[in-house]
Structure 1
């Protein structure tokens, strides 16, 4: 691997219709709502570039790239890019949502949703270019909203764990851990069925079963291989060996209110029945596989200082701290441990109550089976494998106007790619992004 209506239905909520560029100009949204429809779209553009005097690509003394998938795998071949931002890199992603209120047909709290995705960039190993279905799902509540279900084609990275700093969709930077995605959690739509049980107003348990991303397919990059083998996003089954991923999340979530700081704790267990590569047999048997792999993640965020007690909306302002710990067995997981500490300040200035400053430090630990096998032959190949990767990222996200957020920042990483060439060096990237909510 390279480096709306529900209370919990999305742990990273969309901005409201009032916080959009078009809002209800001319009454167009009201007209849609009168017919039972809701529409929302956002576009996010991301840019990174390394500012250090280090190579922008693999040197010419390495063998030429012979595979059309070399960029997807970060292969060490002449002229290739091994990490996002090694040379100036960008992605642009647009997602458009349409929902329909099924209560008009006698189904209270029923909602049908469909979304499409367009993405483009110059590093397909980071995010493949695609035009596809993003979601097609039914959402429903039962038992006075204590029980929720959602099923269809779903992207579970926005349903579980909550890795966005400050739960802010506009905060695109800061390491967030790749272990759930390595275990097959969908970052693009796969068939999924999810339930959420609100045990109390603050304690919840949600579980899902989904078709895994393709774990052991063409390139080994699960995001690229899903786009390659399922370009329209509608395949029910994946490539051979792709089976089910089971996810369970137990959480405690207390929103901020005057005098009550925000707290969010979540423990996730993941088990995938798919066929994985077995790194413990390297280098003798590079084709060895094993069925099944698991992972566990724990994340905690706490508001340490409440800056404004004047209203429930203002109570979220203040200083926060959080941690992430993730683990999966090194026998079948390229990056098997992840540790993150984060501090962030929501609403640092009275005249900018929804801006956010964040500082994130993270450490990735690479499977020792994979790194040892690679480094054993480094004298012959000139290819090395990092045993750890450490990074620090500082960003400021400004809410420029309704529907528009801009982020700038910097990030330092000592080993920005898992496999690297000797003179690759660290990265010190300038970061920028722009999020537009329609």
Structure 2
């Protein structure tokens, strides 16, 4: 049994946005807008508590968490209502966010490949704008994510090797712009002689809300109903806790509205993780 509480981003405890280990950082991580769209705090802390219960062999687990939702009007509104450190208990319009995750996990070891399967449900008590008019009483999402080690490349460091990640997410389309997604990523932990580097090749398909699309079109604005993203990324470990991430991505329909030409994007990120 593990109990955690304090001020934290609950997304660090659930879903598994990093690939393989906690040492890998975005942009090589698993990409989905839906958990944040439904209420995960992004780049700010909030009061939270979560409880993790594991089976005697520690492979099966159940985890439940509660935190404050992000402001339903978006991250910028949340930032404006909070203080610099993100230590406010209450933000106007932001109510409780509940998440439950059930999973199975085995770590990489000699003669044992890493496996991590998890599925979760999120429920947000906050009122979100409804594309049909007015406000919805709540918001929610489902996710299913799995990682599997396909090949070990170093018997002395069994975490090194080739992995595959697959994921799918859903949120109701009457109150969320991104209503569903599915993705597949191949990634290599410890390429060449770099034990803590990561190289990844990923594909994500996003299904956008048709309700949102119809609202935009009624206002004379073009809108898309899907998006596709192809990404190649490399995470370079500069030193312990410091990572330089570089990603080249090609996106069809890069923004929901107005409709835009495909985008080729390069992004570099320096991350500190301790």
Alignment TM class, shorter chain as reference: over 0.9
Which structure has the highest helix share of the two? 1
Deviation at 1:353, TM superposition (A): 2.0
2: CA distance between counterparts of 1:393 and 1:294? 28
Structure 1 residues 427 and 180, CA gap change in structure 2 (3 angstroms): same
2: CA distance between counterparts of 1:356 and 1:278? 40
**Match of residue 231, structure 1, among 76, 79, 83:** 83
Q: 2:33 — aligned with what?
A: 178
| Structure 2: gaps of 5 or more residues | none
Q: Does the 8 Å contact 2:23/2:273 carry over to 1? A: no
1:204 paired to 2:61? yes
Structure 1 residues 190 and 406, CA gap change in structure 2 (3 angstroms): closer
Structure with bigger gyration radius: 1
Q: 2:216 — aligned with what?
A: 374
What is the SS of the residue equivalent to 1:224?
A: helix
1:272 paired to 2:124? yes
What is the SS of the residue equivalent to 1:191?
A: strand
Q: 2:45 — aligned with what?
A: 189
**Match of residue 136, structure 2, among 290, 293, 297:** 290
Q: 2:262 — aligned with what?
A: 426
Q: Does the 8 Å contact 1:164/1:176 carry over to 2? A: no
1:328 paired to 2:177? no
1: CA distance between counterparts of 2:168 and 2:55? 25
What is the SS of the residue equivalent to 2:90?
A: coil
What is the Cα-based RMSD across aligned positions, in Å? 1.7
2: CA distance between counterparts of 1:204 and 1:227? 34
1: CA distance between counterparts of 2:161 and 2:37? 34
Superposition misfits of 4+ residues, deviation over 6 angstroms: none
Deviations 1:88-120 (A, max 9, x none): xxxxxxxxxxxxxxxxxxxxxxxxxxxxxxxxx
2: CA distance between counterparts of 1:402 and 1:276? 41
2: CA distance between counterparts of 1:234 and 1:400? 31
**Match of residue 245, structure 2, among 395, 407, 417:** 407
What is the SS of the residue equivalent to 1:167?
A: coil
2: CA distance between counterparts of 1:436 and 1:183? 27
How high is the TM-score relative to the length of structure 1?
0.59
Q: 2:14 — aligned with what?
A: 160
Q: Does the 8 Å contact 1:170/1:435 carry over to 2? A: no
How high is the TM-score relative to the length of structure 2?
0.92
Deviation at 1:202, TM superposition (A): 1.1
Mean CA deviation greater in 191-200 or 319-328: 191-200
Structure 1 residues 185 and 409, CA gap change in structure 2 (3 angstroms): closer
Structure 1 residues 355 and 303, CA gap change in structure 2 (3 angstroms): same
Deviation at 1:170, TM superposition (A): 4.2
2: CA distance between counterparts of 1:278 and 1:433? 35
2: CA distance between counterparts of 1:277 and 1:431? 32
Aligned residue runs from structure 1 range 346-357, under 5 A: 346-349=189-192, 351-357=193-199
Q: Which has the higher contact order (CA 8 A, sep 6+)?
A: 1
Deviation at 1:301, TM superposition (A): 0.3
Q: Does the 8 Å contact 2:24/2:198 carry over to 1? A: no
| Structure 1: gaps of 5 or more residues | 1-146
What is the SS of the residue equivalent to 2:125?
A: strand
What is the SS of the residue equivalent to 2:88?
A: coil
2: CA distance between counterparts of 1:328 and 1:435? 30
Deviation at 1:402, TM superposition (A): 3.8
